[in-house]
Amino acid sequence: MFSRLLRLVEDLTLYLACLALLVMGALVTGSAIGRGAFNAPIPDDLLMIGLLMVCVIILPLGYVERHDGHIAVTIISDRLPQGVQTAQKIVGRIIFGAFLGTMGFVIAKKVPQEFAQGLYYDGRLEVPTWPMKVVFAVGVVVFLIRLVANTVADLRGTPASSAEV
């Protein structure tokens, strides 16, 4: 049950990241057409594209971890015994989880204050600062849950993709 729910959330975050990428493309295209044809680009286009990049990068992390799709150089580690390889994966997950988890916590901690103060990015549209910080925090939480599930699966000796935690 937990594994199916986690898969559903990971797939949803992946689709949201894909949607954000499509919106980024539409913003770039619309702004280029507006600038070229009407001498009027979309206001704050670069800011919005930069903010949408948060979705594109952070939201699919849980999905990528589920499929063990992170970039890794394993020339030497593939020759080590299976137990050592598993230990390396677990240590790597702990280090990366601590790093990204700390970043997510620090950013999420700022959200209530920024929301209460009504902070926004300078520009014609006055885009609020807090929504993408919430997206970042959600992406990190989904990723950390997948890290824990994969680590528990490794400790049990079961494949991570079939982990029922």
Residue 94 to residue 34: CA distance in whole angstroms: 47
Contact of 144 with 112, CB cutoff 8 Å: no
DSSP annotation string for 17-83: HHHHHHHHHHHHHHHHHHHHHHS-PPTTHHHHHHHHHHHHHHTTHHHHHHTT-S----TTGGGS-HH
> By C-alpha distance, which of 16, 19, 59 is closest to 146?
59
For residue 105, the SS3 value is helix
Domain that includes residue 22, residue range = 2-162
Non-local CB neighbours of 27 within 8 Å, separated by 6+ positions = 42, 45, 48, 49, 52
Into how many domains does the chain fold?
1
pTM exceeds 0.75: yes
User: Is 45 within 8 Å of 26 (Cβ atoms)?
Assistant: no
3 state DSSP class of 1: coil
The tens-digit pLDDT sequence of the chain (165 residues) is: 899 999 999 999 999 999 999 999 999 999 999 999 999 999 999 999 999 999 999 999 999 999 988 888 888 989 999 999 999 999 999 999 999 999 999 999 999 999 999 999 999 999 999 999 999 999 999 999 999 999 999 999 876 654 444
